[in-house]
Amino acid sequence: MAKKHARRRSTTRASEAGNTLPAAQLGAFDMAFQGGDYSRALRLAEAMVQRYPGAAQAHELYANVLGRLERFDEAGDAMARVVELVTTPGAAQLLKLAQYQVLAGRAAAAVTALEEVVEAKPAYLVALVWLSRACHQLGNNRKALEVNDRALALDARHEEVLLWRARILDQLKRHDDALETLERLLAVNPKHIGVHNHIATLYVKEGSYKKAEAHFAKELELDPTNGQVHSNLLMAAHYNPEYSAEDIFVKALEWEKRFAKPSPSGRADTLKDPAKKLRIGLLSGGFRMHPVGQMILPALENLAAEQFELIAYSTSQVVDELTRKIQQVVHRWEVIEGLSDSQLDRKLRDDGIDILVDMNGAGEGSRCDTLAREPAPLIVKWVGSLINTTGLSCIDYLLGDSIEAPDGIDSLYTESLIRLPDDYICYHVPEDAPPGNSLPALRNGYITFGCLNNPAKLSPPMLAEWAVLLHEIPGSKLLLRGVQFESKRYRNKVFGTLAEHGISSDRLILEGPAQHREFMATYQRIDIALDTWPYSGGLTTCEALMMGVPVVTRVGPTFAGRHSATHLVNAGLPELVTDSWEDFRRRAKELASDLPSLAVIRASLRTILMDSPICDGPRFANHLTTALRAIWQRHCEGKVPEALTFSKSGAAQFADEEAPVKLALALPSDGFDWQLESPVLAVDNGAVLASRPDARELLGSGRIVMLSFDPGCKLETVDHLAQYGEIQHFPNTSLGDGEPATLYIAEGAEPTSLPPLDGDLNIEQHQIPTIALDSIEGLPNIDLLALDANHEGLKVLEHASQALRDTLLIQARIAFQPTHERQPNLAEVSHWMSRHGFRFYRLNDLAYRSYLPTRDDLQQYQATELESADALFLPSHERIAVLSDDQRIKLAFLLHTVYGVKDFTYSVMASVEPEKAERYLIAEGIAGINGFESEPIEYQYAQGEDRSSCEFDDTISQDIDRVMNGY
């Protein structure tokens, strides 16, 4: 009857607007809608909307059927149209609008409509429920609870009030209150879907694994098709020391057997081009102050925009400062919380995602049902509940490292493992991180052990082992902090467990939750952190190291048990990684027995961490680029996924291949196309060019070939660069006069073949060979020569007159404040250049010395004395006048690509092809079109040029070997 009244009211408004709907069409719609034929109902509703666009009722019927089809975003738009059309929207219509907006992931918009409803009708229970839910989804849980309190006062037994109250209390870290609310809900309705699952997750958080499993089992009895419950059960198993890695692997395989629903469309496909710009989908609910956000931001900030287009698909509507940073580095931001699995599948396919990176796993925001539909050609699992294999055949690769995924465990993963050379994450140190402090034990007189990991990881067997440690270090205390400790019941449980092992309560400090900065400041009271087992700490270990607190870990059986191990190894602290409780206690006691050393560690650990690969965004981004492009290239070759392992230098090799992969990089699509007839040959003394941050891009362009002489072994290997282009590396070898040279090696300084001016006699000395460029037979024309300031640059030049006869550009590092004997000055180098057809062009990469003190209270900084700079020399005007067109284009290319020079680049290019020079100005944004008709430019390879490699005479290295062997 109520529905008929509602329809009559809507029809009345439509009639007033002159848009009464025919009874026949309404009847047909009702028959289809009530009969569950939503496809027909949708067609009828669409027809009514089209024919009667001013009829609010038509739009509302349209919204109703869209809602049944779970097309909530469109349903919300349809209801918004209803609200626009009616003279005075009713509370029911505003509520329906808000409900669809909440379900569509547009909770912020819904709050506006709901607040209007509850202001007009303060006792409207359903509206209050939905308002509290919307606030909860936006992360505003304090307001959500205030609204929920009002609803609870109206009906203390209302199931939806209690359901959302429990979720809100959980987010507010009121563990016991959430559990009590769920028990009340079970008393109202023992079969309410979702209640046992929530109770189970709360029991997991307090280490009651058996109770949790019992409630998960009850939930699956009530809702056997709910794959998320099984995922939660699988995650809980990683906390429980009773399960082995093999046990968990078997459990991981069950999800796909029971719940996976493959798409009838099969695996998505996109254009297979190994050198194209890749569209990467990032799927997560943790794009915020969350372990995911804090472990991916530096990597995302440093990924090359010309290689990847990043699209973030957020399963959460919460936005904070870290979210905004991520939004700034991705190309597109999408909130997909309200999309069904089929809708998200379609969206990912329509967006043409090449590689989908899942950062939810089976945890919060999980979209395993969508992943099972295979919505992208390649799917990769990275951070975000990355605790083990997913067990899903749809996921092709799992991004780890050699510590998290050691050799010999591949059979326990359904994914092919990518083993990065360092850590599998890159940690973002929060800007508001508390300062470090002195060692607490020095003022306390006793050692304070601490653990700020999730108390769900505090298994009774592990607490028993910690009790042994506390007995072995008399007077020591243990500080534990987490959400669960706000519960007196849980505190008493932990007190009781440790009391059974002889540890009195006065040796325990148990503290409840805190805001993030205050939580991190807890480490100011901890001397040594104890890691949990079998599930180790991840973000908490990074935070402990950041606060100067060393962490002792015992590795567990799964990926989840080795988080701390990889962070410690990559921070240079492998000795803190143990594989037995005996070793665990031994390491902890060694630290506790030497307070002066522990104090030194505390003072230096933040710097060590920030200087390590764990926080090196550019380094991590380089490796991530290699991994993503390598697996994409393999996909384009039609090969099935295979394990990909990195060497420490960054070279990546598939398990079934004999050599590191050779990679194609995407060419910039928005820049100028150079179309060189042959690649540029760059000769590099001192590994100057090979050490540039953009060396990979220079080689990957396919337009630069490099010979790098590395007398001081600045680079251990160039395998990481050889993946992208042609480079030959000659370690322990310098350019020079062909006679042996002495290499001087001092601690903390770059090796040099020049004696230091201070006459330090403690410097280590070695003999290295040198090569005169003029002695190398078969050497192609050198286009670019780069010289550093640590070796005899003048001697290199004096024995290269013929080799440099047609060289286009010479870069020589000049020390304006000499530190070594025989360092050439600018006048000496310029004199040689003028005698051999070169002219001074400019100084580049200037470095200055400051005479100000190093102090924290300086408000301004100034450095005025020029220490060093790269002097760039070009062919003289007379030589430039006789350069060939190909040489001029090469010179323009070098000026633009290597040095960022645009004005002279234009000038040189204009002397060859004025129209091409105009296109260059337009491509660089220096000039507008101004009537100049620019045709689309497509990259054209010179005849015979191989896209995957440049022509390079491999006999050059043989000739160098011959010269070296003859000295």
Contacts of 925 (CB under 8 A, 6+ apart): none
pLDDT at 373: 96
Q: Which of 15-24, 109-118, 319-328, 907-916 has the lowest mean pLDDT?
A: 15-24
Average pLDDT of span 231-248: 94
d(CA 293, CA 393): 26
Average pLDDT of span 887-915: 94
Q: Does domain 193-259 have CATH number 1.10.1040.10?
A: no
pLDDT at 12: 38
Residue 947 structure tokens:
């896209």
DSSP strand pairing (448-451 vs 308-314): unpaired
DSSP strand pairing (809-815 vs 865-875): antiparallel
CATH number of 1-89: 1.25.40.10
Confidence bin at 19 (pLDDT 50/70/90): low
| 8 Å CB contact between 602 and 594 | no
Q: Which of 202-216, 346-360, 617-631, 850-864 has the lowest mean pLDDT?
A: 850-864
Q: Which of 368-372, 702-706, 745-749, 933-937 has the lowest mean pLDDT?
A: 933-937
pLDDT, tens digit, 9 for 90 and up, residues 86-102: 988 999 999 999 999 99
DSSP category for residue 280: E
pLDDT at 871: 96
Contacts of 548 (CB under 8 A, 6+ apart): 436, 437, 523, 601, 602, 603, 604, 605, 606
Looking at domain 440-614, its CATH superfamily turns out to be: Glycogen Phosphorylase B; (3.40.50.2000)
pLDDT, tens digit, 9 for 90 and up, residues 647-673: 998 999 999 999 999 998 887 655 677
pLDDT at 749: 82
d(CA 211, CA 191): 18
Average pLDDT of span 196-222: 94
pLDDT at 927: 84
Identify the CATH assignment for 680-901 out of 3.30.160, 1.20.1300, 1.25.40, 3.40.50. 3.40.50
Helix, strand, coil in percent for the chain, rounding step 5: 45, 15, 40
pLDDT at 759: 67
Residue 950 structure tokens:
């440049």
Average pLDDT of span 778-795: 93
Average pLDDT of span 720-738: 93
Confidence bin at 11 (pLDDT 50/70/90): very low
Of residues 757 and 595, more confidently modeled: 595
Average pLDDT of span 488-513: 95
pLDDT at 756: 86
Residue 588 has pLDDT above 80, yes or no: yes
Residue 869 has pLDDT above 70, yes or no: yes
pLDDT at 20: 81
pLDDT at 613: 96
Give CATH 1.25.40.10 domain extents, the chain. Answer: 1-89, 193-259
Average pLDDT of span 123-128: 95
pLDDT at 770: 95
Give CATH 3.40.50.2000 domain extents, the chain. Answer: 440-614
Confidence bin at 872 (pLDDT 50/70/90): very high
pLDDT, tens digit, 9 for 90 and up, residues 436-479: 999 999 999 999 999 999 999 999 999 999 999 999 999 999 99
pLDDT at 957: 59
> What count of other Cβ atoms lies within 10 Å of the Cβ of residue 589?
17
Percent of the chain with pLDDT over 70: 93
Which of these, 633, 648, 571, lies nearest to 608 by C-alpha position? Answer: 571
Identify the CATH assignment for 262-426+616-666 out of 3.40.50.11380, 3.40.50.261, 3.20.20.140, 3.90.730.10. 3.40.50.11380
| 8 Å CB contact between 281 and 313 | yes
Residue 820 has pLDDT above 70, yes or no: yes
Residue 113 has pLDDT above 80, yes or no: yes
Of residues 106 and 947, more confidently modeled: 106
Of residues 797 and 822, more confidently modeled: 797
d(CA 530, CA 473): 14
> Measured between alpha carbons, how far apart are the two ends of the chain, in Å?
104
Which of these, 552, 508, 544, lies nearest to 526 by C-alpha position? Answer: 544
Residue 584 has pLDDT above 90, yes or no: yes
Which residues sit opposite 865 in a β-bridge?
Answer: 849
Helix (H) or strand (E) holding 477: strand 477-481
Q: What is the mean pLDDT of the chain?
A: 91
pLDDT at 856: 66
pLDDT, tens digit, 9 for 90 and up, residues 179-200: 999 999 999 999 999 999 999 9
Give CATH 3.40.50.11380 domain extents, the chain. Answer: 262-426+616-666
Going through 738-877 in order, the beta strands assigned E by DSSP cover 741-745, 764-768, 770-771, 784-787, 809-815, 838-849, 865-875
Of residues 412 and 940, more confidently modeled: 412
Residue 935 has pLDDT above 90, yes or no: no
| 8 Å CB contact between 561 and 537 | no
Confidence bin at 960 (pLDDT 50/70/90): low
